[in-house]
Structure 1
Amino acid sequence: MFYTNLTRINHFFLLGFPGLSTQYYGPASALLFLLFLAIAVGNIFILVIIKREKSLHKPSYLIFCHLALTDLLFGTVTLPKVISKYWFNDSIISFYGCFAQMYFVHFLGATHSFILMVMALDRFIAIVSPLRYPALFTNSTASVLCGISWLMPSSWMVGIVFDALTLPFCNSNIIVQCYCDHLTIMRLACGSVREVEVVAFGLAMFSLLGPLTFIIFSYFSIIIAVLKMTATERRYKVLSTCAPQIFITCLYYVPRCFVYLANHLGYRVGTDARVVITMMYSLVPAIVNPVIYCFKTKDIKEALIQRFKSRKVRLVQIK
């Protein structure tokens, strides 16, 4: 339904963590700032090491780069404002600034989900059809699929944001969250929002459950293929290459599925707990993923060791 411009709100107030006492604002801002640094340093490091090491110019690591970029951008879009709230007591975000943040929050979330699906496809072809993998899944193929993963959500998220902007906002302007998301903003709209919510929910489920269904199918097929292998050493090698991807996927999907199922089944989570859970599943993967890339991925680990050794040799020669 189209509404005329009845908007009487020029800005929103981000409430952040509702139950947090003012005496803890300093520690909270410091912790969030450290989280932001960890996300920025970790993911920029991944982007740089894969860019500079020619041995890592492979489809799997190109996909890692796209995942690292979504994590880096998500942290950049969400954390500075909430850090500013607790550090400088700046809770105000402009009306259109809030909608812009909402766009990037959901766009980057959907993009990350589709890139995880591309990563699962990469492992599926590499293990189920290893002889055809070099021809089927090249760097160009990975780039095209990752490009589509960025392009698709960017288009429909524009529609969702414009649908939300047609609603009148004339009630409370307090957002009980650390950043602007669609569900929280819709609770502040006047009148009927059902049509907008149904469309947004349908696209959210498509972005979440569509890739997740394929990921479950692909890894289930991989497990069957591994069980058919006769050599124990080859089984271990295959599982070790898939373990980081499976862990990254679980880290992203499990908390989100829990929240959606809890809401669907009528299990009400307290406001404080809901905000904390949302921040955890939004930020923890972005912090943990670079660690997994570096220490659980053989090629990256070997590239780092080799670079460290070569630098050590150069230092010895200089002395």
Structure 2
Amino acid sequence: MLLKNFTTISEFIIVGFPGLHQDYYGLVSVIFFLVYTTTVAGNTLYLALFVSSESLRKPMYIILASLALSDMCFSTVALPKIISRYWFDAGATLFHVCFFQMQLIHYFGTLNSLIMMIMGLDRYVAICYALRYPTIMTNHTTYILNISAWVTAMIAPSIATLHTLQLPYCGPKLIVQCFCDHISITSLACAENTEQKLVALCVALIVLLLPLAFIIYSYFHIIASVMRLSNSQSRWKTFATCSTQLCIIALFYVPRCVVYISSFLRFQISTDFRILLTLLYSLIPPLINPLIYCLRTKEIRQILSKWVKRQTAMRQSPRINVITL
């Protein structure tokens, strides 16, 4: 706690991509803005369908609703500041606001990891124990699992944030990243930070590798069960569904592990490439999750189609009344 008294700065400045020429600031800000609005719109659409349709009150759709809400919150925490940095050259963020953003960034990252583990559990039970699925994965059980994930996801980021706050910050304040994260902030400390990095690495690996190990285990058994299916059409359909989910899982986990491990072991990775990897696992999954998990589902497409037709009919009805009069 004594080291904290030596902190002399009151703000950090978000740099973004250090190698990006100023002529491209406008283009990058537009890209980030489109990613943000598309992510929020896609996930909001699914949440609206989930709330308004009783037929979606099933375990898998409950998990997807939890994931959609988490994705939308993560994008809202991460993107507005970097958009304003490139759009209005407003990269400054207050000291404690930066730490608050770091806490939320890692919280929602942890939360997504836990939700993906719950999703893997749901698929594992649905395919490997199909007859017992309705009694194991009830709505009540699914809600409890998701609420537990939202609560326990706060533990690991809080440990890393409290350790990082103990460091003094008295000199450089440029965060070479698109948002405040643990790696970028600890690199600015005016004291030895190996212990904080080690604690953060251990926490991050536990948060990432334990759910990943369970997901790999579940999908190994899923694939083994699918291979035993006699119907080739059912086998291909299940494989197609699992392959898209595994692509999202790989996109979420692999770049994260590369960034964390390379930072601690000090592998030579260019700064711009490290930031690009961070954005890859941070922004792409929330952007495409509604498409992969939701719009490719037949039941959701049917509900969406009925909703669009109903809205179209409501807009046309006043015109019919006017013509009739």
TM over 0.5: yes
Letter in 2 for 1:125: V
Pairwise CA distance, 1:241: 4.4
User: 2:6 is paired with a residue of what secondary structure?
Assistant: coil
| Deviates most, 291-300 or 74-83 | 291-300
Pairwise CA distance, 1:157: 2.0
Q: TM-score, normalised by structure 2?
A: 0.91
Cα 1:160/1:212, change in 2 over 3 Å: same
Pairwise CA distance, 1:186: 0.6
| Deviates most, 91-100 or 254-263 | 254-263
Letter in 1 for 2:123: R
- Superposition RMSD in Å: 2.1
The answer on whether the counterparts of 1:11 and 1:94 sit within 8 Å (CA) in structure 2 is yes
Partner of 1:134: 134
The answer on whether the counterparts of 2:3 and 2:167 sit within 8 Å (CA) in structure 1 is yes
The answer on whether the counterparts of 2:124 and 2:221 sit within 8 Å (CA) in structure 1 is yes
The answer on whether the counterparts of 2:201 and 2:264 sit within 8 Å (CA) in structure 1 is no
Letter in 2 for 1:233: Q
Partner of 1:197: 197
Pairwise CA distance, 1:24: 1.8
How many percent of aligned residue pairs carry the same amino acid?
A: 41
Partner of 1:300: 300
Partner of 1:78: 78
CA-to-partner distance for each residue in 1:214-239, whole Å, 9 max, x for gaps? 00000010000011112223323433
Structure 2 gaps of 5+ residues are 321-325
Determine whether 1:277 maps to 2:277: yes
User: 1:132 is paired with a residue of what secondary structure?
Assistant: helix
Determine whether 1:164 maps to 2:158: no
The answer on whether the counterparts of 2:170 and 2:189 sit within 8 Å (CA) in structure 1 is yes
The answer on whether the counterparts of 1:241 and 1:297 sit within 8 Å (CA) in structure 2 is no
User: 1:229 is paired with a residue of what secondary structure?
Assistant: coil
Pairwise CA distance, 1:293: 2.6
Structure 1 gaps of 5+ residues are none
Distance (Å, rounded) in 2 between the aligned partners of 1:45 and 1:308: 12
| Deviates most, 256-265 or 163-172 | 256-265
| Deviates most, 261-270 or 223-232 | 261-270
Partner of 1:233: 233
User: 1:13 is paired with a residue of what secondary structure?
Assistant: strand
Pairwise CA distance, 1:205: 0.3
Number of matched pairs? 319
Partner of 1:245: 245
Cα 1:169/1:303, change in 2 over 3 Å: same
The answer on whether the counterparts of 1:128 and 1:222 sit within 8 Å (CA) in structure 2 is yes
User: 2:170 is paired with a residue of what secondary structure?
Assistant: coil
The answer on whether the counterparts of 2:16 and 2:178 sit within 8 Å (CA) in structure 1 is yes
Q: Map 1:92-107 onto structure 2 (within 5 A).
A: 92-107=92-107
Partner of 1:183: 183
User: 2:3 is paired with a residue of what secondary structure?
Assistant: coil
CA-to-partner distance for each residue in 1:75-97, whole Å, 9 max, x for gaps? 10011111111111111110001
Cα 1:314/1:32, change in 2 over 3 Å: closer
Partner of 2:323: none
Cα 1:310/1:83, change in 2 over 3 Å: closer
Determine whether 1:89 maps to 2:89: yes
Pairwise CA distance, 1:191: 1.6
Distance (Å, rounded) in 1 between the aligned partners of 2:48 and 2:208: 29
Partner of 1:210: 210
User: 2:12 is paired with a residue of what secondary structure?
Assistant: strand
Cα 1:84/1:313, change in 2 over 3 Å: closer
| Deviates most, 207-216 or 15-24 | 15-24
Pairwise CA distance, 1:298: 2.2
The answer on whether the counterparts of 2:114 and 2:153 sit within 8 Å (CA) in structure 1 is no
Distance (Å, rounded) in 2 between the aligned partners of 1:25 and 1:301: 37
Cα 1:143/1:126, change in 2 over 3 Å: same
Distance (Å, rounded) in 2 between the aligned partners of 1:175 and 1:235: 49
Distance (Å, rounded) in 2 between the aligned partners of 1:286 and 1:60: 17
